[in-house]
Structure 1
């Protein structure tokens, strides 16, 4: 059987924010978001829960929303957590002393990332190191267990998938590119399969 790594974005966070914030407020929001678990009543799609029951191992970022998501996907299972799967740092965009809604901060981050992608800029070195170390860990687990489902975060998943592709893995399928509970499946391309950009 071809080894598989499934990268899942966590469920919706329980942290709720309202009001306008400046750069310091954005960092406080980030800290609170990282400390929060899942939103009340949050539940994974049934098909993803079935998939989680079929893999050889379920692992997760050590942040609360990712751990809680993994526990919903695999109730009672032994779930290894690692800071290697944590979300990458999102420095506050340069908006001066402006106080704006959180959605504006999110838009500014998205535009900054899109600009970097258009210029074919590589992710920061620290992000690449973290993703590379995470990729090596997951590849080792997949070699032992056959398949691994890793609950992680939006930007880290993007850089991690790229690190796996650089190591000969192939991305087969992506459902809901950045949506909560979306899953990206990669297989060891040195064994079998063909590249798909879906």
Structure 2
């Protein structure tokens, strides 16, 4: 029997968001965000710990916040493999001069620019990121043949995985806890063949 696939967002990173910065400064801030681990008092929800305990495989990205999240979730009971395939979709600082905004607002602006095609230098663009999501789905689906799989990754990447799994791979989202906040998670199961034949919707909130 094919196992479930679970994607979890990392816990709260140890970096101040209560600042106003320019777009250029946001690029530096985001680099520090990628280097930061979790706040010392961060704890995963019990539901996520329990889900991980039943998983044959637990994986994470190579970014510190995802690595520490995975370590918290498995409570030190196993070594969690890391892979750069699972890192967050890029957030290049947008070409907007002078304005000072909080990092969270810059994140929305940057994501919008990136979604519309802005990917300077060697930045992974939106189309390439979707190709990577397809590779992620291949990996998770292959592992699910051995039992439940849990991936500790990132907010927007997990959203992309959700759309791909439900719309392209015909897996059904069967659980979604925490919205898109830190420690949120989604679980998927392969749809029954009769559901696919009947065109039953895979996405259900």
CA contact (8 A) 2:4 2:188 kept: yes
Q: CA deviation at 1:3?
A: 2.1
Q: CA deviation at 1:94?
A: 4.0
C-alpha separation between the residues in 1 aligned to 2:78 and 2:23?
40
**What pairs with 1:1-198 in structure 2 (closer than 5 Å)?**
1-74=1-74, 75-109=76-110, 124-143=126-145, 145-165=146-166, 166-190=168-192, 195-198=202-205
Q: CA deviation at 1:164?
A: 2.0
CA contact (8 A) 1:60 1:152 kept: yes
Match of 1:119 in 2: none
- SS of the equivalent of 1:187 reads strand
Judged with a 3 Å threshold, the aligned counterparts in structure 2 of structure 1 residues 192 and 43 are, in CA distance, closer, same or farther, namely: farther
CA contact (8 A) 1:168 1:190 kept: no
C-alpha separation between the residues in 1 aligned to 2:194 and 2:50?
24
Q: CA deviation at 1:34?
A: 0.4
Which string of whole-angstrom CA distances, capped at 9 and with x for unpartnered residues, describes residues 58-113 of structure 1? 10111000010001111231211111111000122343232333243134346668
Which string of whole-angstrom CA distances, capped at 9 and with x for unpartnered residues, describes residues 149-191 of structure 1? 1001011001112222312211112112211111101111256
Greater fraction strand: 1
CA RMSD of aligned residues (A): 2.4
C-alpha separation between the residues in 2 aligned to 1:109 and 1:64?
22
Q: TM-score, normalised by structure 2?
A: 0.83
C-alpha separation between the residues in 2 aligned to 1:23 and 1:39?
25
Match of 2:121 in 1: none
Unaligned runs of 5+ in 1: 117-122
Structure 1 residue runs of 4 or more that deviate by more than 4 Å after TM superposition: 109-116, 190-194
- SS of the equivalent of 2:82 reads strand
Unaligned runs of 5+ in 2: 118-124, 196-200
Q: TM-score, normalised by structure 1?
A: 0.86
C-alpha separation between the residues in 2 aligned to 1:94 and 1:136?
35
